[in-house]
Structure 1
Amino acid sequence: MRAEVLSATPTLFRDDLVLDEGANTALLTWLHGRVDGVFVAGTTGEFPALDRAERRTLAGLALDVFGADRTIVHVGAASTREAVSLTRDALAAGATRLAVITPYYLPVDADTVRRHFAAVREAAGDADVYGYLFPDRTGVTVSPAEFAATGLRGGKLSGAAAARFADFRAALPDARFWSGADTDVAAVARGGGAGVVSGLSSAFPEPFTDLAAAVEAGDAEAERTAQSRADAVRAALGGTVEGIKEAVRQRGFGNGRLRMPAPAPPVERIAAYARS
């Protein structure tokens, strides 16, 4: 089965940093047909800087363009109460696939994580719920064995968790796992993963979808070419939210503004890649 490429879309704002519904819809519409689906209101989407109403709006925009089968709505929050509320909002908007990050900021143990996920799973009913592990950002490490006890359908593995992709697959062989490491498409596909959740593909989808197709076809030369292009995208954008938003701006969507403080993006480096 071909590994899928889900774009982790950035959230686009107006100059006054109000949510820009038109720009977000335009980006989603452009991505439709170029990637296999979208992951909305995640890390690339600056979810800690979004309020509940904005996240409900973003879910609705993505579902309108991609439909429920090709949209994963991130409902994670620092508090279980907020995550449950976001889950109910996503379901009301028509979502059937949800992701929830571990609790963050306060230190937690494995039982706390399990209870947090269980509350979201209960609120989600028949919807598919996937965990989102990003220990580098949350400070929370969940082992494959601990994750197996959560009862979730699988998860998105980013940072240090992505480096243990094979261990998670071995612990839950029937679950679906995506890597947050954009350029690891080939390794994920060969390891039986579902695919990648890629922020970089929001600006330059083709290298990543071409790589997935080449691996599926067993075309070694096409794979090498696509891998080189995917690696070049990562080098140009730096794998950062500010780099992704600047690249999206250069593609004609939004103004590149972030709500969350971040370094200046590599404008010229991104432009040079786009011209190459």
Structure 2
Amino acid sequence: MPESSFPRAEILAAVPTLFDERGELDLAANIRLYRALGDRVDGLFVAGTTGEFPALDHGERIALARAAVDTAGANRVVFHVGAASTRDSVRLTEDALALGVRRLAALTPYYLPVDLGAVERHFAAITTAAGDAHVYGYLFPERTGVVVEPADYARLSETTGLAGAKLSGAAADRFSDFRRALPEHVRLWSGADTALAGVVRAGGTGIVSGLSAAFAEPFAALADAVADGDADAERAAQARADAVLAALGGSPEGIKNALRQQEIGADTMRMPAPLTGPGTDAAIARLVAAERP
């Protein structure tokens, strides 16, 4: 007999930004990736951490947003507008809205130390510019140096109109604390790809998953199994998802390596990153072969 079922998790593929061998934006390869993902995931998370957003200029980010909207449809795109300056985040928001984007994510300020007042003003400027579009805060304390406690985020959501949050790193580790602190209508995603089952059972909306950009099927199967309450199918899908994490390491360079081996773009990183070695290459090759339809 199936166990109690839960709502099906929303899987947003945190897509990498694909470059050519010279490090220039390869728009055709990015479009090919968006098309390949198709309905294998529930949407695309564009120009986030996996997308190397700090290394993209404004025009490149908007070009990616346009390509994603044209390929997947506006309602299936979450476009990241986080930037080091509020001015740049607002400009990205305005230009994305002009393309039809209706869902936005915004990282907290980063690099310079900030207090909660600065975080609130930053988010408020973005939500004001966004109007009736949905804006989700993005908390990643290891990358930004900014820690926002669950109760503080609940207050920020109320005062600024944030519709949800993507929680990564240490924030994702406290997913249940955020869920308890926030009203039910505030949607929450975890950046911990393989934690999908726990996220759903804790009342979350789903995951923002870089790994699913390279291997969507294990995560879709896991979402289906949890929603159906099928414990055997969940164990099998969880093992597949764990194998993806073990091979790719959860890094943009690992994800790009896997896509290259599937003939989707080059594995060029614009941001400095460790090189993948022969052992990683071989492990990813075995996974590509195992997951091939």
Q: TM-score with structure 2 length normalisation?
A: 0.93
SS in 1 for 2:49: coil
Structure 2 counterpart of 1:271? 285
Q: Equivalences for 1:127-276 in 2 at 5 Å?
A: 127-151=133-157, 152-172=162-182, 173-265=184-276, 266-276=280-290
Q: Following the alignment from structure 1 to structure 2, what is the Cα–Cα distance between the partners of residues 192 and 61? A: 32
Instruction: Pick the aligned partner of 2:59 from 36, 53, 61.
Output: 53
Aligned partner of 1:29 among 5, 23, 35: 35
1:62 matched to 2:76: no
For the residue of structure 1 that corresponds to 2:259, the secondary structure is helix
SS at match of 1:121: helix
Q: In percent, how many aligned pairs have the same letter?
A: 62
Q: How far has the Cα of 1:67 moved from its partner?
A: 1.1
Q: Could you list the runs of 4 or more consecutive aligned residues of structure 1 that deviate by over 2 angstroms after TM superposition?
A: none
Deviation at 1:275, TM superposition (A): 2.5
Contact 1:41 1:58 in 2 (8 A): yes
Distance (whole Å) between structure 2 residues aligned to residue 232 and residue 208 of structure 1:
11
Q: Which runs of 5+ in 1 are unaligned?
A: none
Give the alignment partner of residue 98 of structure 1, picking from 91, 101, 104.
104
Shift, 1:229, TM fit: 0.4
Mapped to 2, the partners of 1:150 and 1:85 lie a distance apart of 21
Q: Which amino acid in structure 2 is aligned with residue 117 of structure 1? A: F
Task: Kindly state the Cα deviation for residue 179 of structure 1 after the two structures are TM-superposed.
Answer: 0.2
SS of the equivalent of 1:259 reads coil
1:170 and 1:14 map into 2 onto residues whose CA distance is: 44
Q: Hey, what does 1:11 align to over in structure 2?
A: 17
- 2:39 partner SS: coil
- Is 1:87–2:122 an aligned residue pair? no
Task: Provide the C-alpha distance between the structure 2 equivalents of 1:67 and 1:257, rounded to a whole number of angstroms.
Answer: 27
- Amino acid corresponding to residue 85 of structure 1 in structure 2: R
* Structure 2 Cα separation of the partners of residues 251 and 193 of structure 1: 31
Q: Secondary structure at the match of 1:150?
A: helix
* Distance in 1 separating the partners of 2:220 and 2:289: 20
Residues 71-124 of structure 1 deviation map (CA, whole Å, 9 limit, x = unaligned): 100000011111111111111111000000000000111111111000000011
Moved more, 190-199 or 266-275: 266-275
What SS class does the counterpart of residue 174 from structure 2 fall into? helix
| Greater Cα offset, 148-157 or 221-230 | 148-157
TM-superposed CA distance for 1:33, in Å, is 1.2
For 2:138 and 2:102, the matched residues in 1 are separated by 16
Contact 1:114 1:149 in 2 (8 A): no
Measure the CA separation in 1 of the matches of 2:19 and 2:88: 23
Normalising by the residue count of structure 1, what TM-score does the alignment of the two structures yield?
A: 0.98
Moved more, 207-216 or 60-69: 60-69
Residue 267 of structure 1 and its aligned partner are, at CA, apart by: 1.5
Deviation of 1:174 after TM superposition, in Å, equals 2.1
Structure 1: distance between partners of 2:39 and 2:150 = 34
Separation of aligned partners in 2, 1:18 and 1:242:
16
1:120-166 residue CA offsets vs partner (Å, 9 max, x unmatched): 00011110000000001111111111111223111100000001111
* Root-mean-square deviation over aligned CA pairs: 0.8
Aligned length: 276
